[in-house]
Amino acid sequence: MLRFSKLKLTGFKSFVDPTELLIDEGLTGVVGPNGCGKSNLVEALRWVMGETSAKQMRGEDMDDVIFGGTSNRPARNIAEVVLGLDNSARAAPAHFNDAEELEVSRRIERQKGSTYRVNGKEVRARDVQLLFADAASGARSTALVSQGRISAVITAKPEQRRVLLEEAAGITGLHTRRHEAELRLRGAEQNLDRLEDILKTLDAQMESLRKQARQATRYRNLSDLIRKAEATVYHLRWVAALDGLDGSRERFRLAQARVAELTGLVAAGSARQSESAAGLPDLRKAEVEAAAVLQRLVLEREALDGEERRVAEARRAAEERQRHAEADAQREQALAADAGAAMARLLEEQAAIADARRGEEDSQVQAAAILAAAEAAVKDLERQVAELSDRVAADEAQRGALARTRAEGEERERRLADRAEEIARQKTVLEAESGVLQEVAAAEAVLEQTRQAQETAHARVPVAESARVQAGEKRTDAEADLHEAKGAATRLKAEEKTLAGLLEAGEASLWPNLIDALVVEPGFETALGAALGEDLDAPADEAAPIHWRTLPPLDDSPTLPGGLTSLADRVKAPPALARRLTQIGLVADAAEGVRLGPQLRQGQRLVSREGGLWRWDGFTVGAGAPTPAAIRLEQRNRLREVRARLAEAE
């Protein structure tokens, strides 16, 4: 059986300093006055054997077993009790029975609880309690006899005495294990019941999740199809936009050439206009002086011409009135002749009527009727004759008036003739003044030259104006092309901003990725992404945890099979990638990669522009979708192209 061999206390209640109590064979006693700590030793034994009640330890809280301090010594935060057991009889449980000496320790830290250890290995409190229960001992065992314990045993009931007998028989541990097993079985039954409920719930959830999974799969497939369709549409739009951009750039270049040509023409016209304008002030001055002299002469000539025109107009008016008067007189004479003929005809008819009256008395009634008709006709004719007489009188009066007007016109014509003779005499006098005429002739010559220069300038003005109009039309066309080019430049700026935002997101880190320092020829991005992959995400800064280190070239670097060119010829990269890139060969297609793959030396690999990879150790990747590195490289190349085209467009 187990036997106590020693007891060590550190920081437990009044034992602030490490204290060791040896328990030898036979009787070991502790003698001392009240308050020396004898009871603390018994409580230390109970505590290390698994006591969990602070009241049994004469405290309010389990932390009260830690030394609380005095006026001279500070309080401790840790208390530990170690109980040594002699296990030479191998009476301990199987998992503790491999050593002859067992040290059971319990350590408590303020506000953190306590831990149990057996020979330095952490164990559960239940394991320690079972260890001492198998040894017919324990924190609540009757083996620990205290004051009043003997009388309690004597007066104990049969059930309580049974506990005492079981401890004496050493089967307390079995009852403890049985009780624990029963608790575990009940817990297992409860767990099984809960598990059945959980399984039912999980079955329902699983069915729902199956439906959701089918829906998610369908959604993912549809989303992939939609993304592919959208990508195709956007690619077609992008290609169309590129074609339109090239056409716009060509039209813009032609428009610029036309604008430059027209600008030269306008500049030449402006120069000629400036030269003409430089000589205009002197010509204008001479023109003003000559115009002053000419104006005076012109005014005099206009006055004479006006007077002459007035005389001619008056003469023409008089002749016109004379012609009208003669026409009226002829008309009146014709009317008078007609009236005389009518009177003769009436007289003849009157004579005929008289003859008929004498010859035909039997037809008096008919004659009377004819007479009445004749009288009516006579009256009518008399009325017409009266009207004609009145008109003849009026015509005679008008003829007299016209005659007077003609006389006045002839008199005015005479006066005008006299005025013309006077003007002729004045003209003769003016011609006699030769000096004035010479000045007038010189002024007219200067004026003629000025007019010719002015006419030449005016003749140039329509040409210049036409050129200006044509230049304006061409400028309008050029501005329209410029507007289209600006729209294309705006789209390029938007694309440049988007690509810069995507690419500069990784450049803002403390160690920028190596991929941002590469310059790849267009079309080889997929090949580089397949060859290096995620290795491009590492920086070239040796301060980073993961980085590319710059090493010198290999002395005996193997050549690529088949005389292939290396990927280094297509990529501008930092020196850290020199070793890697020189050992990556470019093949034209998959057939060449399969043919040359077995000839690769250690560390070498082959790639195709479509993304196929053949490594020296047999690892092979078929051409497929671009890798994230290839996409980023394509975006960076596209950004350079967009920036170049944007600079050209601007």
153-168 pLDDT per residue, tens: 667 677 766 666 666 5
Taking residue 276's Cβ as centre, other Cβ atoms within 10 Å add up to 16
- In the sheet with 613-615, reading across from the earlier edge strand, the strands are 584-587, 605-608, 613-615, 620-621
Tell me which of 416 and 244 has the higher pLDDT: 244
- The answer to whether residues 528 and 581 touch, using CB atoms and an 8 Å cutoff, is no
DSSP string of 401-415, one letter each residue: HHHHHHHHHHHHHHH
Q: In which element (H, E) is residue 228 found?
A: helix 172-359
Chain centroid to CA 360:
128
Residue 537 has pLDDT above 60, yes or no: yes
The residues facing 116 across adjacent strands are 106, 123
CA atoms within 13 A on the CB side of 391: 16
- pLDDT on residue 486: 66
Would the pLDDT of 82 be above 90?
yes
Question: Which of the residue ranges 116-125, 265-274, 494-503, 615-624 would you say has the lowest mean pLDDT?
Answer: 494-503
How high is the pLDDT of residue 626? 59
Average pLDDT, the chain: 77
Report the Cα 415 to chain-centroid distance in Å. Answer: 96
Instruction: Express each pLDDT in 334-366 by its tens digit.
Output: 777 777 777 777 777 777 666 655 655 665 565
Q: For strand 519-520 and strand 571-572, is the pairing parallel, antiparallel, or unpaired?
A: antiparallel
Residue 237 confidence (pLDDT) above 60:
yes
> Stretch 291-305: mean pLDDT, rounded?
81
Burial 230-256 (b: 16+ CB within 10 A, else e): eeeeeeeeeeebeeebeebbebbeebe
When pLDDT is cut at 50, 70 and 90, the band that residue 436 belongs to is: very low
At 507 the pLDDT is 45
The answer to whether 588 and 564 are in contact (CB under 8 A) is: no
**Strongest mean pLDDT among 143-157, 201-215, 259-273, 492-506:** 201-215
**Mean pLDDT within 607-612:** 84
- For residue 277, name the pLDDT band (cuts at 50, 70, 90): confident
Number of H helices, E strands in the chain: 11, 12
CB atoms within 10 A of CB 228: 10
CA distance 442 to 449: 10
- Starting at the earlier edge strand, list the strands of the sheet with 121-123: 19-22, 3-10, 78-86, 101-109, 113-118, 121-123
Q: What is the percent of the chain where pLDDT is above 90?
A: 8
Interhelix angle 172-359/158-169, rounded to 10 degrees, is: 100
Q: Pull the structure tokens for residue 264.
A: 């030269």
Q: Residue 375: CA atoms inside 13 Å, Cβ hemisphere, count? A: 6
Q: For the residues of 231-257, what is the DSSP string, one character each?
A: HHHHHHHHHHHHHHHHHHHHHHHHHHH
Q: Angle, nearest 10°, between helix axes 172-359 and 125-134?
A: 160
Distance CA 441, CA 445 (A): 6
| Among the listed residues 21, 12, 5, the one whose alpha carbon sits nearest the alpha carbon of residue 57 | 12
Taking Cα atoms as reference points, which of 572, 589, 592, 599 lies closest to residue 623? 589
Once rounded to an integer, what is the mean pLDDT over residues 1-18?
87
For residue 375, what pLDDT is reported? 63
Q: Where is mean pLDDT largest: 5-9, 143-147, 293-297, 461-465?
A: 5-9
**Ramachandran angles phi, psi of 414, nearest 5°:** -65, -45
Residue 43 CA to residue 56 CA, distance in Å, equals 8
Q: Which of 480, 481, 487, 488 is nearest to 642 (CA)?
A: 488
Question: Coil, strand, or helix at residue 573?
Answer: coil
Q: Grade residue 6 by pLDDT with cuts at 50, 70 and 90.
A: very high
Q: What is the pLDDT of residues 460-476, one digit of tens each?
A: 656 656 655 665 566 66
Classify 243 in phi/psi space as left (phi over 0), alpha (psi -120 to 50) or beta. alpha
Out of 326-330, 623-627, 637-641, the most confident range is 326-330
Residue 531, SS3 per DSSP:
helix
> CA-CA distance, 226 to 207, in Å (whole number)?
28
* Cβ proximity of 93 and 174 under 8 Å: no
Paired strand residues for 113? 109
Given this model, what pLDDT does residue 434 score?
A: 47
Own/partner pairs, 278-283, CB within 8 angstroms, 24+ separation = 279/453, 280/457, 283/449, 283/450, 283/453, 283/454
pLDDT grade for 628, boundaries at 50, 70 and 90: low
CB 124 within 8 A of CB 103: no
Strands 605-608 and 584-587: parallel
What's the confidence (pLDDT) of residue 178? 74
Q: 531, 518 in Cβ contact below 8 A?
A: no
Start-to-end C-alpha separation, the chain: 100
User: Residue 358: enclosing H or E segment and its boundaries?
Assistant: helix 172-359
For 45, list phi and psi in degrees, rounded to 5: -60, -50
Beta strand pairing status for 101-109 and 519-520?
unpaired
**pLDDT tens sequence across 417-430:** 676 677 667 666 65
> How much is the CA Rg of the chain, to the nearest whole Å?
70
* Lookup: tokens for 436: 């004035």
Beta bridge partners of 22: 6
pLDDT of 125 > 70? The answer is yes
More confident residue, 448 or 571: 571
Q: What distance in Å separates the CA atoms of residue 551 and residue 353, rounded to the nearest whole number?
A: 160
Angstrom CA distances, 91 to 85, 87, 102, 116, stand at 11, 6, 11, 20
Give the DSSP H or E segment for 419. Answer: helix 364-432
Structure tokens at 418: 């006299």
**What would the pLDDT profile of 633-650 be if each residue is shown by its tens digit?**
666 666 667 666 766 666
Structure tokens, 18: 């490490």
Of 205-214, 366-375, 390-399, the least confident? 366-375
What pLDDT score was predicted for residue 106? 94
Can you give the pLDDT at residue 104? 92
Q: Which residue has the higher pLDDT, 468 or 329?
A: 329
Q: Residue 272 has what pLDDT?
A: 83
pLDDT > 50? residue 36? yes
The answer to whether residues 322 and 402 touch, using CB atoms and an 8 Å cutoff, is yes
